[in-house]
């Protein structure tokens, strides 16, 4: 007996294939969505970790900046304290400068030189007087330049022929004016730099005295 299938089997297979395709598509979508969620979650976690590290780094940088500012402020305070201490020491040393100055002028003034006045302005002293000869003035400058621990850089301002006394008792002398530096106690033991360019005292003050005296004598003649 021959059996004939009159049911729409092709349509049924088509529906089955369509349902399988739809299920596969849905499964793929679910898997893709899961992968996207997993990757997104991993990225979000990595970003959160990096943000946390960045925040920690920013906090550390701010703290370091604060420390640097504190160190800079501390250095400024230390320098200010040093400056105050130096100022106090200078004031204490300057109180004794007149004593040192008078003592040095007595020690370094050679025979035949007579001082009549001196005036101090800061660390420079103007000394004036008269001498028996220009050689005596040169010796005074030489003593101030190299033999004194307190005096430095003598500068001959003026030298000219003069006289003291009247009539038969008048004597010819050499009048002079010298500007000399006086050291502070903290600078007394420092080595001098006598060869500096522009240092008027130089290494041969006696030559300056001789030249100035010669010029003065020429003018007088």
Q: Is residue 164 part of a domain?
A: yes
Q: Report yes or no: 108 and 152 within 8 Å, Cβ to Cβ.
A: no
Query: Using CA of residue 86, residue 87, residue 92, residue 97, what is the dihedral sign?
Result: positive
Q: What pLDDT is attached to residue 60?
A: 94
Q: Are residues 35 and 91 in the same domain?
A: yes
Per-residue pLDDT 10s for the chain (221 aa) are 666 655 566 777 888 888 888 888 898 989 988 899 899 889 999 999 999 999 999 999 999 999 999 999 999 999 999 988 888 877 776 677 778 888 888 888 899 999 988 888 888 989 999 898 889 999 999 988 887 888 889 999 888 888 877 777 778 889 999 999 888 777 666 655 544 444 444 445 555 555 554 544 444 44
Q: Are residues 85 and 122 in the same domain?
A: no
For the CA atoms of 94, 98, 101, 102, the dihedral, rounded to the nearest 10 degrees, stands at: -160
Q: Are residues 68 and 131 in the same domain?
A: no
Q: What pLDDT is attached to residue 159?
A: 87
Here the CATH number for the domain that contains residue 118 is 3.30.1360.100
Domain encompassing residue 29: 14-96
Residue of 208, 219, 221 lying closest to 135 (CA atoms): 208
Q: What pLDDT is attached to residue 163?
A: 82
Q: Is residue 177 part of a domain?
A: yes
């Amino acid at each position: 007996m021959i059996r004939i299938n009159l049911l729409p089997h092709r349509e049924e297979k088509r529906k089955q294939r369509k349902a399988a395709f739809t299920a596969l598509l849905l499964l793929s979508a679910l898997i893709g969505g899961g992968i996207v969620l997993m990757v997104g979650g991993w990225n979000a976690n990595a970003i959160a970790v990096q943000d946390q590290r960045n925040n920690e780094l920013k906090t550390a940088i701010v703290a370091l900046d604060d420390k640097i500012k504190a160190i800079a402020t501390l250095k400024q305070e230390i320098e200010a304290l040093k400056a105050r201490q130096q100022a106090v020491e200078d004031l204490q040393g300057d109180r004794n400068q007149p004593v040192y100055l008078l003592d040095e002028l007595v020690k370094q003034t050679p025979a035949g030189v007579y001082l009549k006045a001196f005036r101090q302005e800061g660390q420079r002293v103007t000394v004036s007087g008269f001498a028996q000869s220009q050689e005596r003035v040169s010796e005074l400058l030489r003593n101030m330049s190299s033999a004194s621990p307190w005096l430095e850089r003598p500068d001959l301002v003026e030298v000219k022929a003069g006289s003291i006394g009247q009539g038969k008792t008048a004597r010819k002398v050499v009048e002079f004016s010298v500007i000399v530096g006086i050291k502070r106690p903290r600078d007394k033991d420092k080595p001098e730099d006598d060869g500096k360019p522009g240092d008027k005292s130089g290494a041969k003050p006696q030559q300056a005295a001789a030249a100035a005296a010669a010029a003065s004598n020429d003018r007088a003649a």
